[in-house]
A = this chain, B = another copy of it.
Amino acid sequence: MNSTIDRLRKQIGTDRVVTDQSDIQPWLSDWRGLYHGAALALIEPRTTAEVAEVVRIARETGTPLVPQGGNTSMVGGATPDSSGTALILSLRRLNTIRRIDRDARMAVVEAGVILQTFHEAAEAAGLRFPLTLGARGSATIGGLISTNAGGTQVLRFGTMRGLVAGVEAVLPDGQIYDGLTALKKDNRGYDLTQLLIGAEGTLGVVTAATLRLVPAASETASAWIGVASPHRALDLLRSMEATSGAAIESFEIIPAHDLELVLEHIPGTRRPVATPSAWHVLIDYVGHDATARLTAMIEDAAGRGLIEDATIGANGAQAAAFWRIRDSISEAERAAGPTLAHDIAVAVDAMPEFIESAGATVEARFPGVTVSAFGHLGDGNVHFHVNAPKGTDAATWRSNPGAAISTLVYDLVTQAGGSISAEHGIGQMKLDAFARTGGTARLAALRAIKQGLDPHGLFNPGKLIPPLAPATGAP
């Protein structure tokens, strides 16, 4: 092992190879504290060539690599196992915005650039990068690509998959793949960029990407709307889309249960509308004359009985207050007691029925729990949370009945033709569920691709690909 460290130090510099365990410590656990691992060292290359050197040495010494960006994985995807044999390959020092091309609306950005930093750079160029999420202050471009991140603007602009025009990556054989030139058409075989998006670092390391930008938002208006049910919320979305085209950028649903938890547990929050409703919708409209147009659409929807109450954020502070409620749901739930998070997707039109029927099934099977499905209704993706009865002991509840609850939720999603991971990925958390629900054809194909590209299994081992023997011990 020492020879591995020595070689790394010689090739990329002593200061780029961190072996002091107290310095490595913060990167050995995921941010929610669910996973803990160990590592031989933390490697911090500054260039793509240095990443390739690291990969070459890892290959020659048979050393596993765990790529890591902002360490904000929701599924333990960037935490090494407990063996201590792996290197954490941090991309955080590879953090240059190489180029922003205003005319072509493209940027070439290295993997370690933090999302918020890139937002600010795009804004300074009179453009914007239309993907955002709660962890934007820590999450890196490389991690967002490797997990095909989503967030709250997917409705209009899609996930990272739609925003990446090309990648540069170091492949498991140590070669640098340069796919940064943005070609609108390119039919030279399998699309390696698409293959690396969402591969969770198991097929190589993304070192940079060409990203699409869009014009700066002309004007934004936000609304908080009370509706009777998820069905009415989807009717509202369809009605608004028919008149506004692509101007609706966010369409989030929030059940009354979560609104009440936020009001109870998050200081400084207040009820947006007076009328109590079973469900709420938070909308961002972006475009010319946003406030007037959104107001007109809401009045039209009210006239047709689609909504129960509504208010429009008349200034930035009001809109920020709406979004603070939305973004505080998980924190409020945690303050109230143990909760199980499930990031799931079904076809958009099937989601209202799924929320109601699956929610009823779970609540009937596990008396006392409260199902809270909130988030991206327009994407067919909600965070299907199951909150424990009041006063439950967290330590035991998460495994029993927690594991059985999650199994039920994932089975219901799979029966509905949906996905057990809409935007968070598989990581290590969902390996068991993926092994059970993924289907033999898909799992065999994933294993075959992994075997072809990373035959020694050195890239992020123990993530994404369920082992052939059943995995155990997922929290």
A161 to B440, CA, bound (A): 25
Question: Are the CB atoms of B182 and A189 closer together than 8 Å?
Answer: no
A103 to B352, CA, bound (A): 15
Question: Are the CB atoms of A177 and B379 closer together than 8 Å?
Answer: no
Segment of A123-131, A196-204, A311-319 engaged in the interface with chain B: A196-204
Inter-chain contacts of A339 with B (CB < 8 A): none
A203 to B159, CA, bound (A): 26
Inter-chain contacts of A175 with B (CB < 8 A): 440-441, 444
Question: Which residue on chain B has the smallest CB distance to residue A160?
Answer: B187
Inter-chain contacts of A148 with B (CB < 8 A): 187
Inter-chain contacts of A379 with B (CB < 8 A): 184-185
Segment of A85-93, A261-269, A419-427 engaged in the interface with chain B: A419-427
Segment of A39-47, A109-117, A327-335, A448-456 engaged in the interface with chain B: A448-456
Inter-chain contacts of A259 with B (CB < 8 A): none
**Given A171-B441, A183-B346, are A464 and B189 also a contact pair (CB < 8 Å)?**
yes
User: Taking the complex as formed, is A84 at the interface, i.e. its CB lies under 8 A from any CB of chain B?
Assistant: no
User: Taking the complex as formed, is A31 at the interface, i.e. its CB lies under 8 A from any CB of chain B?
Assistant: no
Q: Which of B176, B185, B441, B464 contacts A345 (CB 8 A)?
A: B185
User: Taking the complex as formed, is A397 at the interface, i.e. its CB lies under 8 A from any CB of chain B?
Assistant: no
Inter-chain contacts of A444 with B (CB < 8 A): 171, 173, 175
Question: Are the CB atoms of B190 and A449 closer together than 8 Å?
Answer: yes
A203 to B465, CA, bound (A): 20
A345 to B166, CA, bound (A): 15
Question: Are the CB atoms of B147 and A185 closer together than 8 Å?
Answer: no
A190 to B198, CA, bound (A): 6
User: Taking the complex as formed, is A445 at the interface, i.e. its CB lies under 8 A from any CB of chain B?
Assistant: yes
User: Taking the complex as formed, is A188 at the interface, i.e. its CB lies under 8 A from any CB of chain B?
Assistant: yes
Question: Are the CB atoms of A183 and B464 closer together than 8 Å?
Answer: no
Question: Are the CB atoms of B445 and A188 closer together than 8 Å?
Answer: no
Query: What is the distance, in angstroms, from A234's C-beta to the closest C-beta of chain B?
Result: 10
Question: Which residue on chain B has the smallest CB distance to residue A169?
Answer: B441
User: Residue-by-residue, is A164-181 near B (CB-CB < 8 Å gives 1, otherwise 0)?
Assistant: 000000010101111101
- Number of A residues near B (Cβ < 8 Å) is 71
User: Residue-by-residue, is A443-472 near B (CB-CB < 8 Å gives 1, otherwise 0)?
Assistant: 011101111110000000000110000000
User: Taking the complex as formed, is A10 at the interface, i.e. its CB lies under 8 A from any CB of chain B?
Assistant: no
User: Taking the complex as formed, is A347 at the interface, i.e. its CB lies under 8 A from any CB of chain B?
Assistant: yes
A69 to B139, CA, bound (A): 44
Q: Which of B185, B188, B203, B421 contacts A188 (CB 8 A)?
A: B421
Inter-chain contacts of A421 with B (CB < 8 A): 186-188
Question: Are the CB atoms of A448 and B442 closer together than 8 Å?
Answer: no
User: Taking the complex as formed, is A226 at the interface, i.e. its CB lies under 8 A from any CB of chain B?
Assistant: no
Question: Are the CB atoms of A380 and B184 closer together than 8 Å?
Answer: yes
User: Taking the complex as formed, is A438 at the interface, i.e. its CB lies under 8 A from any CB of chain B?
Assistant: yes
Query: What is the distance, in angstroms, from A453's C-beta to the closest C-beta of chain B?
Result: 5
Question: Are the CB atoms of A424 and B187 closer together than 8 Å?
Answer: yes
User: Taking the complex as formed, is A354 at the interface, i.e. its CB lies under 8 A from any CB of chain B?
Assistant: no
Question: Are the CB atoms of B442 and A189 closer together than 8 Å?
Answer: yes
A150 to B186, CA, bound (A): 10
Sample (26) of A-B pairs whose CB atoms are under 8 Å apart = A103-B238, A147-B187, A154-B185, A161-B191, A171-B441, A171-B444, A173-B445, A177-B441, A177-B445, A182-B347, A184-B381, A185-B376, A185-B379, A185-B380, A185-B422, A186-B421, A187-B423, A187-B425, A187-B426, A188-B434, A189-B199, A189-B438, A190-B446, A191-B195, A195-B195, A445-B453
Known: A104-B348, A194-B194. 19 other contacts (CB 8 A): A147-B187, A171-B441, A177-B441, A183-B345, A183-B346, A183-B419, A183-B422, A184-B345, A184-B348, A185-B345, A187-B422, A187-B425, A188-B426, A189-B434, A189-B438, A190-B195, A191-B194, A191-B198, A449-B453
7 interchain residue pairs of minimum CB distance: A452-B452, A175-B441, A181-B417, A194-B194, A185-B422, A186-B419, A448-B452
Residues of A at the B interface (CB closer than 8 Å) are 103-104, 147-148, 150, 154, 159, 161, 171, 173, 175-179, 181-192, 194-195, 197-200, 203, 238, 345-349, 376, 379-381, 417-426, 434, 438-442, 444-446, 448-453, 464-465
